[in-house]
Structure 1
Amino acid sequence: MSYAKLRSHRTHVYGLIVVVPFLFLSSCRSAKRSDDASTCSETQERLAEALAESMVLQCTANLAEIEQRGAELERDNAALRSENTQLQEDNAALGGLKDTNASLQAENEQLTTESQALGAESEALKAQISVCVDELEEARHPGDIRDRLALIPGLGVQEMKTQIDGARVFSVRIEQPLDHKDPSKGYFSQRFVLLHRSEDLPMTLMTTGYGLFGGPDTWVDHEDELTVLTGSNQIVLEHRYFEGSMPTHRDPAEIDWRFLTIEQSAADSHAIVEKLKPIYSGPWVATGRSKGGMTAIFHQRFHPADLAGIVPFVAPISHGINDARYDRWMTQIGPNDGRCRTQIEDLTVELVRRRAELATALRQSSAYFDVFRVEAVEAEVALSANMAWALWQYWGSPELCSSIPRAGTDVTQLGQWVFASPYDILGGSGGSDEPNYDQYLYQLYRELGGPSQSAPYWEAAVADVDFSMLPSRSGPVWASELPAFDRTAMEKVEAFLSNEATHVVAVYGAWDPWSAGRIQVDETRQSRVFIAPAVGHSADLASLSTGDRSRALELLQAMYGRLNFAGAKTTAPSAEQWQHMRESSQWLDRHIQRQEMRDLRRAALSSIGANR
């Protein structure tokens, strides 16, 4: 019952207390006119008294209840006041939150505006990125090989015209560190020539060991024997410090020769493989002739993972600076009967003995010799007479032995045989390539070593020759700082070849003086050393016996994964194909011959100077 209802009930009760006695009194006043007036009055008084008493009791009870309920209501009201106070506090707090919310809403509207702007900018950037991705993908896989090469960092590329069907040829320069272990020492530009057929084909990496023998144009139409055999791509690499790959164009005396080592050279080849392997992902096979073949061996020695194999031709590994094995080999070289060796030795002595006649004939036949004093030409003839090594190296063959002049031959015929084509032992007496000898000699004295090349019969014959009449030549630019010979360099190479090297096909000539330094390999590792019969430094695959050629082709098939004749894998090339490959190797051999004959001549001059 609510407080308002209690108050209404109390008022009603008080009203009854007043009204009921009044009704009884009114009734009694009416009864005075009758006989029962006194009785009525008495009765009314009793009733009124009883009723009043009853009403008082009832009111007392009601008042107690009302007071109890009032106390409860007071407690409820106190609770409501407390709750109202809390609500007021909460409302005050909500007022602050409303302000914060209003601020956040304003900030959100600002962020929404900025987000919309960023969204528009993001869409524009996405469009630009999409274009860049397309351009990058096109750059990674451009349609033209020249463009792909040009994208390689550190490469400069120029295309050259070639007559080779289905091929394109590029002259390339690559920036190489002088010291691959410490690039901070500077860089140099190294040259190579790339013959491109297809990115899917193998790569034949041919190192010359010297320069490019004149420049990239020399190689624009040349295919190596292995390139012809396999139909592969081809690189012809110029050796560091030679011709156009010198570390500087300053005075040669200022060149730092310390970095002309087999390890640095191998690192040059390795850098080229690393840069081009993403394009030419097929097998890479290193090859080369003579010093170039040695360079291929060094590449595999230091970076075997680069290569599927190596094919060095006539590449010697020497034991020291004066390796006596070559002298012993020269006493056994040629046909077994030894007659050819004896004929060459006799011819040597004959030339020295008749040097005055030959000098006169040379001065009469060539303006080149006419400018020198006759004594100088005589000394030149005597020096050139030490020709056994050169004859066996470059012309060792049955034809050589059958053509050697006999004692007493007419001086004109004698001079023509010795100093004219094909032998021309004076061909190494000079020329623009002679400065390359400094580089080769440095390598010889530091790591490569070389033959002793003693010839007692010649040395005895020239005992009274005045070699001081020869034009003076300066020594190497590094002569004042002769490098210490590192015997371990070749020892480690030989240990690698014997114990670790795999997929090696090496070819040597049976009549080549350098074959005394032929390598040894483990034939259980898909490797073999072949000796071509009755041939000198021009030995190649075509000059091998039929059985050896077949075995060599099997090993090459394992390296390259393909051979290029008649679509077959093991069938031998035709005679015409072998002839084409033979001509290719002979072309290269002639270039190397001119370089190495100068080296031999300078070595002979150095020997004379050391012995007198």
Structure 2
Amino acid sequence: MNKLTTKFYSLLFVISIGFAACTQPLSLEQKLIQLPNVTVQKITGDTTFSEYFEIYFTQPLDHENPDAGTFKQRVLLGHQAYDKPMVVELQGYNIWTEKAGELSKLLHANQLIIEHRYFKNSMPDSIDWQYLNIKQAAADQHKIIQALKKIYKSKWLTTGISKGGQTTIYHRFFYPNDVDVSVPYVAPHNLAREDKRIHQHLASVGSKECRDKIYQFQLACFKNKKEILPLAKVFAENKGYSFSMGLEKALDLSILEYSFAFWQWGNTKCEDIPSSDATSQDLFNHLLRVSGMDFFDENSLKPGLAFYHQALTEIGMYSYEVEPFRPYIKYKKDLCFDHVFPNEPIRKFNPESMQKVNHWLQTDAEKMLFIYGEWDTWSATAVDLKGKNKCKKFVNPEGAHRTRIKSFPPDMKNEIIKTLEEWLEIRIENS
């Protein structure tokens, strides 16, 4: 074989090797890296998934004005298989866990967790509250979902819990075709800055005997406030708590919060409530167990300031009813959450967004499956499916805020599974 022939075959070999390399399928990590404006790191996450990645998307602060600046948004991706469904967990706050959620396990699905803008690792360098609203957040989620849809071609489902459930509703309102199905868990839909339906719920939930016992406990706390205040002072000092509204008002708020927290979490039985003649120490200990004072501590509030901004300007909240305790507290009107921003003007609430979303829920929303707990305080403002939509709502009897699909009685759980199977056009095994 002459030198020319040898060079020819050598070149042909190199070309064939290169061609083979070019035809090798890209790894998932390579596919992710090719997405625009991302940084990707493979990490050790929930071993339910075969691969796990932490991704940061560079997002515009204002999706309608790229010149307003950018921030990086944290996303976690758990990979099962390309032909499996994708469950997108929309967080209303920061990312709490890397674990597979209920729906990811139920569907043996891939999982994408999206942290909400203005929380923890998804904070802009400086806070400009004008860019924190449901429209901008939905645009964040839309951009991420559309990017990952280039890789995952099977069914897509969004879900979220509590404020994450609200976030799920709002994303679907702005981008109804991003996913096939949505499952918001225990998601309130408030129609006012302080929605009075909360008060109506607390006046009717559970048994009258239990409601009376709750009221008597709160009353006993107010009657014994002079003795409880020194206990609260020592407790706050030991914990390093500080209260912008002052210690006494923080204690008042904790007592008023008690009924809300009792029914929201469902961790306390009526028989566990101390009697009215209990010692001040026993009253205070029980109060801390159900509605701890950390809820009003300045440092504890800081990570959630974005939530309170949204609540007071667009998505609504609740207030504390003072009338039943007026002989013992001297506030002229119900107490709300303006104390969270003590040095700023009172935030004005615009009801327009929630009204538009509510109209859409009654008319055009489809394939949204709402999960609620009957006794959960936030069920007072649950989505009300009165219109001719194609959605379903399931209410877990006597359920609280931790209600999940697995919490339901077998017949209701089976109906939920059947609905998901029909909407997603799949068979759910081992349900």
User: Normalising to structure 2: TM-score of the pair?
Assistant: 0.85
CA distance in 1, matches of 2:116, 2:19: 39
* 1:272 Cα deviation after fit: 0.8
Structure 1: gaps spanning 5 or more residues: 1-125, 214-218, 465-472, 567-572, 574-612
Query: Cα 1:157–1:382, aligned 2, differ >3 Å: closer, same or farther?
Result: same
Paired residue total: 414
Aligned partner of 2:215 in structure 1 is 345
* 1:432 Cα deviation after fit: 4.9
* 1:434 Cα deviation after fit: 1.8
Aligned partner of 2:79 in structure 1 is 196
Aligned partner of 1:236 in structure 2 is 113
SS class of match (2:55): strand
SS class of match (2:217): helix
Query: Cα 1:315–1:165, aligned 2, differ >3 Å: closer, same or farther?
Result: closer
CA distance in 1, matches of 2:342, 2:247: 24
1:438 aligns with 2:309: no
Check the 8 A contact 1:323/1:452 in 2, yes or no. Answer: yes
Structure 2: gaps spanning 5 or more residues: 1-11, 332-338
Q: Which has the larger radius of gyration?
A: 1
Aligned partner of 2:285 in structure 1 is 416
SS class of match (2:367): coil
Amino acid at match of 2:28: I
CA distance in 1, matches of 2:362, 2:100: 31
* 1:440 Cα deviation after fit: 1.9
1:282 aligns with 2:148: no
Q: 2:254 aligns with which of 384, 389, 398?
A: 384
* 1:446 Cα deviation after fit: 2.6
CA distance in 2, matches of 1:433, 1:284: 35
Q: 1:297 aligns with which of 169, 174, 180?
A: 169
Amino acid at match of 1:208: Q
Check the 8 A contact 1:351/1:381 in 2, yes or no. Answer: no
1:405 aligns with 2:274: yes
Identical-pair percentage: 27
CA distance in 1, matches of 2:233, 2:358: 48
* 1:395 Cα deviation after fit: 2.3
CA distance in 1, matches of 2:201, 2:100: 33
* 1:424 Cα deviation after fit: 5.0
Bigger helix fraction: 1
CA distance in 1, matches of 2:31, 2:252: 56
User: Normalising to structure 1: TM-score of the pair?
Assistant: 0.62
Query: Cα 1:160–1:410, aligned 2, differ >3 Å: closer, same or farther?
Result: same
Amino acid at match of 1:349: L
CA distance in 2, matches of 1:194, 1:433: 29
Check the 8 A contact 2:76/2:113 in 1, yes or no. Answer: yes
1:549-560 alignment, distance < 5 Å = 549-560=413-424
Bigger strand fraction: 2
Q: 2:393 aligns with which of 516, 519, 529?
A: 529
1:272 aligns with 2:144: yes
Query: Cα 1:458–1:150, aligned 2, differ >3 Å: closer, same or farther?
Result: farther
* 1:291 Cα deviation after fit: 1.0
Aligned partner of 1:180 in structure 2 is 63
Aligned partner of 2:4 in structure 1 is none
CA distance in 1, matches of 2:17, 2:132: 47
SS class of match (1:529): strand
SS class of match (2:40): strand
Aligned partner of 1:205 in structure 2 is 88
* 1:132 Cα deviation after fit: 8.2
Deviations 1:273-309 (A, max 9, x none): 1100111111111111111101101111111111111
CA distance in 1, matches of 2:389, 2:250: 49
Query: Cα 1:430–1:128, aligned 2, differ >3 Å: closer, same or farther?
Result: farther
Amino acid at match of 2:272: S
516-525 or 339-348, which deviates more? 516-525
Aligned partner of 2:51 in structure 1 is 168
Amino acid at match of 2:384: Q
CA distance in 1, matches of 2:20, 2:240: 71
* 1:360 Cα deviation after fit: 4.1
CA distance in 2, matches of 1:313, 1:564: 19
Check the 8 A contact 2:236/2:242 in 1, yes or no. Answer: no
Aligned partner of 2:295 in structure 1 is 428
